[in-house]
Amino acid sequence: MKIAKNTVVTLSMHVTDAQNNFIEQTSGEGFTYLHGGYDDFFPKIEEQLEGKDIGFETEVQLDPDDAFGEYDAELVRVEARSLFPADIEPGMMFEGIPEDGSEDDLEFYTITDIEGDKVVLDGNHPLAGMALRCKVTVTEVRAATDEEIEHEHVHGDDHEDHDHTTVH
């Protein structure tokens, strides 16, 4: 089966930075996404995979804009230490709502520094500002179910429970 809109694609993937420093690699059954512009995967890689089949291999270079965005210094914030649990340390990630945001604006923050009664938070993705080199191999292609298409994501064996009576 060829990769097209509304197919579920499984890949093994090996990611380095532009200098070939290892960043991450899929393990086990690999990475699975719903193909067809659902914002489930990097659009630039989806483009390369369109019409391809199991066994297809390619290497795609992603500029920061194609990957996790440019580094945005405005996403760095300083908060009071007292707002956080006692056992925080640099490198920890958690979810938070921006000062002037609502619950829809939930973002991920990384604690980058703790000094005295202040905590420095960085809302940039850890890979923001980086160009990535992704080697991908297609290992499985199947038709998406109607429910997956409606939900715009994959329902695998390990799919976390969620309310399937409403579209989310």
Q: Quick one: tokens of 26?
A: 């899929």
Would you say 43 and 68 are in contact if contact means Cβ atoms under 8 Å apart?
no
Q: Which parts of 69-88 interact with Zn ion (CB under 5 A)? A: none
Residue with tokens 């939900």: 151
- CA pseudo-torsion sign 102, 69, 121, 16: positive
Cα distance between residue 134 and residue 18, in whole Å = 10
151 binds Zn ion (CB under 5 A): yes
Of residues 90 and 156, the one with the C-beta less far from Zn ion: 156
Of the listed pieces 9-17, 38-46, 112-120, 145-153, which binds Zn ion according to CB under 5 A?
Answer: 145-153
Least CB distance from residue 140 to Zn ion, whole Å? 19
33 binds Zn ion (CB under 5 A): no
The residue sitting closest to Zn ion, measured at its beta carbon, is 151
Of the listed pieces 1-9, 81-89, 91-99, 147-155, which binds Zn ion according to CB under 5 A?
Answer: 147-155
Cα distance between residue 37 and residue 47, in whole Å = 9
